Each structure stands twice: as structure tokens, then as C-alpha cells.
Amino acid sequence: MPEFIEMKKIDKGRASTVGTVVKVEHLKKFFAVRKGIFSREVHFVHAVDDVSFEIKRGGVLALVGESGCGKTTTGKTLVRLYEPTGGKIEFLNKDISKLRTNADRMWFHRKSQIIFQDPYESLNPRMTIFDIVVEPMSVQGIGNIKEREEAVADILQRVGIAPPETFMWRYPHELSGGQRQRVAIARALILKPEFVVADEPTSMLDVSIRTQVMKLMLDLINEMDMSFLYITHDLSVARYMADHIAVLYLGKIVEMGEIEEVLQHPLHPYTQALISAVPVPDPEFQREMPKIKGGVSKPIDPPDRCRFYERCPYAMEVCKGTCPPLIDVGNDHKVACYLYNKNG
């Protein structure tokens, strides 16, 4: 497995990985659906189902998995764009699962932000770059006009939109895709948040500018000592950006740990399949492929068994019983699979 992904990795140099910024315990987010317009029967999509993890100060956790695995729902629930169905989210030791007062909401939204995938849709085309970037300051009532202009100029300069005074009064359609995503990053970072959810922020960009934007984010993470949840389906991006990884499958974390440990020693059949799907630029190279079956199904009222059961080449009788718990197999490496759970 070590041959995969030979992308040069930047020394992330994060020294202050002490203290937990985000702690998620048994988080659940279900959506009610009806199977037909006239049906009274209500079913539930278990988009996020009993997910737990922590992100340290200055740390980047990559959340990976195929489309439809619940990555974006997890991110949106963490920044409270969705109300959790169950579980607990602690942010800076404060329970933010229920933000009861307006002051709590303002405090949380000042310290947490989200960067969306699509730089073409996430910026309002009728607003100037200045108005877009300054919006979080205006909403929070921070600074006077002069201070806001200085803050916008400063953050635009830092994300490489320079000279800022040239770009501030332009509209998004006058910018390239890479510049728009830099503006989206500037808007997310203008309040110097302590936690950011980045939802596939480079997947819509040309390959040529993707690495520039990723490097920019890493530099800003180091400089501003922020914590990130970095959502991606691309393991090479995860390896470049993150120090820890959580692999999500149908709303459940199936494997988690320090990123090099997990990528070099993947244990769960799903993680192994994801790694085997990463292209290697060597026509001679032959890799052992786990023969997984079918595609990702919808997690509607899923039975209490391993979520990967239908696709798993190693499925056993015990896997039909209950969902395997996430257990520590050493080196802070956790896996949810009965192949490694002797008590299963």
C-alpha cells in the first residue's frame, strides 16, 4: 500500500496540538422522508448515525468517503446549519448541541465558519467582493467603516487577492474560479474563527490551481492556529491537508486515526477499497483490489448490522447481528469491523 499517492507533503508544522476545540459524541442527524406523495408512512434517512470524534487545536481532521456517505451533513450539523437529531457537540468545552440564546448563537458563529464546495454558487452575484467579505463583521456588529475596510483589505491580501483595492469593488463574475474560492476563504476567515468546516473546497477548481488553494489554506491554518474539519472524497487531498482521518460509510465512522497510520495500514475493507481506487501513474503497477460489490445504498431505516455488509467480500454471520463498534487496535487507530473485534 505505501506506493499510493506520492504527492509531496508540506510540513504542517502545527506545534500547538494541545487542547480539544471540537468534541463530538454520538452525533446523529436523521431526515424524515415519505415513500410517495400520498404515503403516510414516515421513514428516516440516517445521514449521520452515532458519530464521535475530536479535533485538537491547530489540527485538521479529514472526513472522507464516497458521495452520499454523510460527510456534508456531518459538517453542516457541526456548524449548526442543521439541528442534530441526537448526541452532543462540544465547542471550546461548551455544549453547543442546543444554542438557546441569541448571544450563544452569535458567539458560536463568530468562532466557527464553513467554506462551501462551489465558488460559483456560494457568492452572491449581486454583491461586491467587499460586501461579501465584510458581511460576517456587519452581522456581528464589529468595527466601524474604516476598521472594516482595513480588515477586508488585510484578509484579501492574505488570501492572495491583491492588490485588494483593485478587487474590492468588483463582482464575483469578474473573477476566476480560483479567485472566487479565495474570496470565499477570506469571508470565512475574516473573523479569525477557531474552527472551520471546509466542504470539498477545491473539488470544483482546475487541477492547476487546486494545489495553490490547498497550500494557501494550510499556511493560514498554521498562521492563525485554526482547527479544520476537511471534507473530501480524495485521499491524496486528505493526506496533503490533514493530520488525522475519519472514514465515513453510510453515516458511520468505520475507521479513524492518525493519517499516515491509517493510509499505510488500512484495516477496514472499505478503507482498503478507497485506497485501491487511487490512481497510480505507473502502468506496470498492479494492486490487490478488494472485490467490493455494488454502490452506496441509501441509509433509509438501515437494519442493525454492519453498514458495509452488502458490499463486503469478507462478510460473516456475526456481521448480520449488530453494527460493529469502533474499537482501538493500537497506535490510536480505531476500526469498526468484526475481523478485528475478537469479542464480536
Applying CB under 6 A, does 30 fall inside the site for ligand SF4? no
Taking every pair of C-alpha atoms in the chain, what is the biggest distance, in angstroms?
A: 67
C-alpha cell at 342: 475478537
Between CA 216 and CA 9 the distance in angstroms is: 14
- Residue of the chain from 70, 269, 290, 302 that contacts ligand SF4 (CB under 6 A): 269
Say whether residue 337 binds ligand SF4 (CB under 6 A).
yes
Comparison of 75 and 257: residue with beta carbon closer to ligand SF4: 257
- One residue of 73, 112, 324, 334 binding ligand SF4 per CB under 6 A: 324
Among residues 186, 248, 213, 257, the alpha carbon closest in space to that of 50 is found at: 248
**Rounded CA gap, 246 and 236, in Å?**
14
Minimum distance between the CB of residue 306 and ligand SF4, rounded to whole angstroms?
3
Question: Each residue of 190-216: b (16+ CB within 10 Å) or e?
Answer: bbebbbbbbbbbbebbeeebbbebbeb
Alpha-carbon span 192 to 155, nearest angstrom: 10
Per CB under 6 A, which region of 30-38, 255-263, 285-293, 332-340 contacts ligand SF4?
Answer: 332-340
Task: Show contacts with ligand SF4 in window 272-311 (CB under 6 A).
Answer: 306, 308-309
Choices 112-120, 141-149, 259-267, 313-321 (CB under 6 A): range interacting with ligand SF4: 313-321
For ligand SF4, the closer of residues 315 and 327 by Cβ is 315
* H runs (alpha helix) in the chain: 71-78, 102-111, 129-140, 145-158, 164-167, 177-189, 207-224, 235-241, 259-264, 269-276
> Nearer to ligand SF4 by C-beta: 92 or 318?
318
The answer to whether the CB of 58 falls within 8 A of the CB of 14 is: yes
- 84 and 29 Cβ atoms separated by less than 8 Å: yes
Do residues 337 and 343 touch, judged by C-beta distance below 8 A? no
Q: Does 108 bind ligand SF4 (CB under 6 A)?
A: no
CB of 63 to ligand SF4, least distance (A): 19
Contact between 322 and ligand SF4 by CB under 6 A: the answer reads: no
- Considering the complex, what minimum distance in angstroms separates the CB of residue 114 from ligand SF4? 31
The yes or no reply on residue 319 touching ligand SF4 (CB under 6 A) is: yes
Stretch that binds ligand SF4, among 112-120, 167-175, 325-333, 336-344 (CB under 6 A): 336-344
Residue 77: CB minimum distance to ligand SF4, A:
25
Grid cell, residue 28, equals 446523529
Number of residues that bind ligand SF4 (CB under 6 A): 13
Cell numbers for 175, please give them.
473573477
Question: Where along the sequence are the contacts to ligand SF4 (CB under 6 A)?
Answer: 269, 306, 308-309, 312, 314-316, 319, 324, 337-339
